[in-house]
């Protein structure tokens, strides 16, 4: 079984990437082969509305017709049994590259039909969101609705989607180097030491779950 993680953060070793790697460690512990791909390493753009994936009898029907550095990742996800997508929240939503990736991934499978809406094989999907806001502020600002809306799109296409959000994350190693007086640095560091490992355990457990359920179904 194969599990892929897609990192939509520009940072390869901080909050989002750490959670994704924890998910892959969990999947690997249950027997899966794993791989992480960093979107910021790839040169690509979002959907161009060429509709090649919708053309009757077309050579790209059900596949994104654009050919660029994202194409191999789309093919890897097609062949995977489960996958994770992780992104920090920038100005109320996922990063721009994550959104462009999602457009290309999801739209190729979407069918304008009254019956089956998707050409994709059913897969387990994990959506991991990280943010600087506290739990209470995230709820006040309606981030649950943003996450649920994103998950709904993946459920339509792949049949499932599970959400893990990590809030009030530590942005800098040394806050004294930046203009950031808005934050309680001691509290940020406390959460990094005490709460963030719990988030890592949640993603680890979800990786175990995906690999175990996929393995038992095969």
Residue 142: what pLDDT? Answer: 86
What are the CA-CA distances from residue 113 to residues 37, 50, 57, 107, 187 (Å)? 32, 19, 16, 13, 51
pLDDT tier for residue 218 given thresholds of 50, 70 and 90? low
Residue 155: what pLDDT? Answer: 96
Residues 6+ apart with CB under 8 A from 152: 161
Query: Based on C-alpha coordinates, what's the Rg of the chain?
Result: 18
CA distance linking residue 126 with residue 147, whole number of Å: 12
* CATH of range 2-217; options 3.30.565.10, 3.40.50.360, 3.20.20.450, 1.10.10.10: 3.40.50.360
pLDDT digits (tens, 9 = 90+) for 45-96: 999 999 999 999 999 999 999 999 999 999 999 999 999 999 999 998 999 9
Q: Does residue 202 sit in helix, strand or coil?
A: helix
CB 210 within 8 A of CB 3: yes
Domain boundaries, the chain: 2-217
pLDDT digits (tens, 9 = 90+) for 91-133: 989 999 999 999 999 999 999 887 788 899 999 999 999 998 8
CA distance linking residue 73 with residue 192, whole number of Å: 31
Taking the model in full, what pTM does it have? 0.93
For helices 196-217 and 185-194, the axis angle rounded to 10 degrees is 30
Residue 113: what pLDDT? Answer: 83
Residue 138: what pLDDT? Answer: 86
Strand partners, 110: 118
């Amino acid at each position: 079984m194969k599990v892929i993680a897609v990192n939509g953060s520009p940072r390869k070793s901080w909050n989002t990437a750490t959670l994704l790697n924890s998910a892959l460690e969990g999947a690997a512990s249950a027997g899966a082969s794993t791989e992480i791909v960093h979107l910021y390493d790839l040169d690509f753009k979002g959907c161009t509305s060429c509709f090649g994936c919708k053309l009757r009898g077309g050579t790209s029907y059900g596949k994104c017709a654009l050919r660029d550095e994202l194409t191999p990742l789309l093919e890897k996800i097609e062949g995977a049994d489960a996958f994770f997508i992780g992104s920090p929240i920038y100005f109320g939503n996922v990063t721009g590259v994550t959104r462009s990736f999602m457009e290309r991934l999801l739209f190729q499978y979407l069918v304008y039909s009254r019956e089956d809406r998707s050409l994709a094989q059913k897969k387990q999907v994990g959506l991991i969101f990280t943010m600087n806001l506290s739990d209470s502020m995230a709820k006040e600002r309606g981030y649950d609705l943003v996450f649920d809306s994103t998950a709904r799109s993946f459920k339509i296409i792949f049949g499932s989607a599970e959400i893990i959000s990590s809030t009030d994350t530590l942005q800098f190693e040394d806050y004294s180097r930046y203009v950031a007086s808005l934050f309680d640095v001691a509290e940020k560091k406390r959460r990094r030491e005490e709460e963030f490992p719990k988030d890592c355990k949640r993603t680890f457990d979800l990786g175990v779950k995906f690999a175990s359920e996929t393995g038992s179904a095969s």
